[in-house]
């Protein structure tokens, strides 16, 4: 939910002009950031029940949102970092899961 909604932030104005209703168009830009942070925090909390390290890795996402807001990075630029970030997080999840399965 967080990534899907985060990816809609750059499209808020075009979607509104086209009459497309999304979570991001409904919430507006600033509220959408907080919605994304909350969904990622919830996901991090839930994943700690699998293994604490998975929850820790997922805290990267809300941390990045706060960083984007604090530094004032344009969302159109920040959006293009996320394929690499998602790949990195997915790799850490996969390798971490394999490590837990093998060494426990």
pLDDT at 61: 94
pTM of this structure: 0.85
> What is the distance between the alpha carbons of residues 18 and 60, in angstroms, rounded to a whole number?
33
Q: What is the pLDDT along the chain (104 residues), one digit of tens a residue?
A: 889 999 999 999 999 999 999 999 999 999 999 999 999 999 999 999 988 989 999 999 999 999 999 999 999 888 889 899 999 999 999 998 899 889 87
Q: 15: burial class by Cβ within 10 Å (0-12, 13-18, 19+)?
A: middle
pLDDT at 27: 96
Per-domain boundaries in the chain: 2-103
> What is the distance between the alpha carbons of residues 78 and 101, in angstroms, rounded to a whole number?
34
pLDDT at 5: 94
């Amino acid at each position: 939910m967080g990534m899907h909604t985060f990816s809609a932030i750059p499209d808020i104005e075009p979607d509104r002009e086209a009459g497309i209703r999304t979570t991001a168009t409904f919430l507006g830009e600033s509220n959408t950031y907080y919605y994304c942070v909350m969904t990622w925090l919830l996901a991090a909390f839930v994943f700690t029940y699998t293994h604490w390290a998975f929850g820790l890795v997922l805290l990267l996402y809300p941390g990045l949102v706060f960083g984007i807001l604090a530094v004032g990075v344009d969302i159109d630029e920040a959006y293009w970092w996320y394929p690499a970030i998602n790949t990195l997080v997915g790799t850490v999840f996969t390798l971490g899961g394999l490590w837990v399965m093998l060494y426990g």
